[in-house]
Amino acid sequence: MGDNTEKKSIDTGMPSKPKWENPNHPLYLHHADQPSIILVPQPLVEDNYSTWVQSMSMALLVKNKIDFVDGSIKEPSGDKPDELQQWKRCNNLVKTWLLGLMSKEIVSSVIHCKDASQMWLDLQELFSHVNTIQLFHIENEIHDCVQGSMTVSSYFTKLKSLWDEQDAL
């Protein structure tokens, strides 16, 4: 076995479990963490990156896998084969989740990324120029927004939504 399972616990003298068997560890995989699960309601398409990335970030945080996209968990060295294998499983799971929530056109531009962090950065770079165009459209929507027959509450909700989207960009 690898170096994580051969260590003896100081308290019991029994072999200790690998650190990734702790549900709070980023390398932990729950039996429900399957490649086919849908983490966010809408896939990434050309014009929804800002809301998609926020939703996806929240979902990955809940799954304790945000470290794979923000780059804070690095690929372990080859001298820890069990940990490296577990990291690869988790990294590929996160990549599968991301790819499953993108349009086919976007998938083709990021599928060859070596890890989830690189995929995340490539998406950010790909959509950074789109944000300027989106910002222009949102500002126009804010400018053109009139209450008309909407209630004050509905009107404010619409404006607040546009302001929040503008701030996100």
Q: Is residue 153 part of a domain?
A: no
pLDDT tens digit sequence for 85-94 = 999 999 999 9
Q: Print the domain residue range for 117.
A: 3-128
Query: Burial of 51 by CB count in 10 Å (0-12 exposed, 13-18 middle, 19+ buried)?
Result: middle
Q: Is residue 111 part of a domain?
A: yes
Work out the pLDDT band at 138, boundaries 50, 70, 90.
confident
**Domains in the chain, number:** 1
Q: Give the per-residue pLDDT at 51.
A: 87
Longest alpha-carbon distance in the chain = 74
107 within a domain of the structure (yes/no): yes
Is residue 136 in a domain? no
Q: Confirm whether 148 is domain-assigned.
A: no
17: left (phi over 0), alpha (psi -120 to 50) or beta: beta
